[in-house]
């Protein structure tokens, strides 16, 4: 009985969905040319109130399911799940404020995006949040479009490639130097919820810089 219950819990965790109570699936573009896609995506960004996605995150040493949430102000929360569906780690980025909680090891770190190390360095660019959900940040011109969405983005410190180049994005690869992170979107829904900084549990060991 215990073994059967454990299997059921595992299956339920594996079927976790990120759909908010009133969330709607993200509609694809109706563009027929790259220039029209650019115009439609700018319009989507101006109307953007937030999004939540169930994702598959691939780092050099980690492949796990997770949740990506970006709110209307560009704040980002990346949650990584354990194989049992519990929370393994959380990365919160709000401009120059970053919080990383390693829930598996009960450690916490708070600092600036430029202080991130290892594979997490790619999340140090403050314009990345909107790009993760396939939207062009305001004033960014180094974007290549296809008729179906963004194809590639080149920033001074980060490059983002969308494969295929569709909106909403299905798979994107972020590179910074030798660091590479892949995000596969499995489900994407609108979500107007405002992101708040995660509470740091009092028993977490402080000031441990994440090395992933």
What's the chain's average pLDDT?
89
Predicted TM-score (pTM) of the model is 0.88
CB 159 within 8 A of CB 153: yes
pLDDT in tens, 181-203: 999 999 999 999 999 999 999 99
Q: Is 67:204 a contact under the CB 8 Å cutoff? A: no
The CATH superfamily assigned to 22-190 is Lipoprotein localisation LolA/LolB/LppX (2.50.20.10)
Q: Which residues contact 52 (CB under 8 A, 6 or more apart)?
A: 18, 19, 20, 23, 67, 68, 69, 188, 189, 191, 193
Contact by Cβ (8 Å): 102, 85: no
Compute the Cα dihedral for 92, 89, 50, 184 and give only its sign: positive
| Separation CA 161–CA 163 (nearest Å) | 6
Q: At 141, is the pLDDT very low, low, confident or very high (cuts 50, 70, 90)? A: confident
């Amino acid at each position: 009985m215990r073994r059967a219950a454990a299997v059921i819990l595992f299956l339920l965790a594996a079927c976790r969905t990120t759909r908010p109570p009133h969330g709607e699936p993200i509609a694809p573009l109706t563009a027929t040319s790259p220039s029209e896609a650019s115009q439609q995506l700018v319009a989507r960004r101006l109307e953007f109130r937030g999004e939540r996605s169930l994702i598959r995150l691939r780092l050099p040493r980690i492949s796990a399911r997770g949740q990506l949430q970006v709110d209307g102000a560009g704040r980002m929360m990346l949650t990584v799940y354990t194989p049992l569906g519990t929370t393994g780690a959380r990365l919160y980025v709000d401009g120059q404020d970053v919080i990383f909680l390693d829930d598996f090891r009960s450690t916490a770190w708070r600092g600036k995006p430029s202080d991130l190390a290892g594979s997490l360095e790619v999340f140090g660019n403050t314009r990345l949040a909107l790009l993760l959900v396939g939207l062009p940040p305001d004033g960014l011109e180094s974007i290549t479009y296809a008729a179906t969405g963004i194809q590639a983005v080149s920033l001074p410190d980060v490059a983002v490639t969308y494969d295929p180049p569709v909106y909403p994005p299905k798979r994107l690869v972020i590179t910074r130097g030798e660091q590479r992170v892949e995000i596969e979107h499995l489900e994407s829904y609108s979500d107007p919820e405002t992101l708040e900084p995660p509470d740091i549990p009092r028993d977490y060991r402080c000031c441990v810089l994440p090395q992933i």
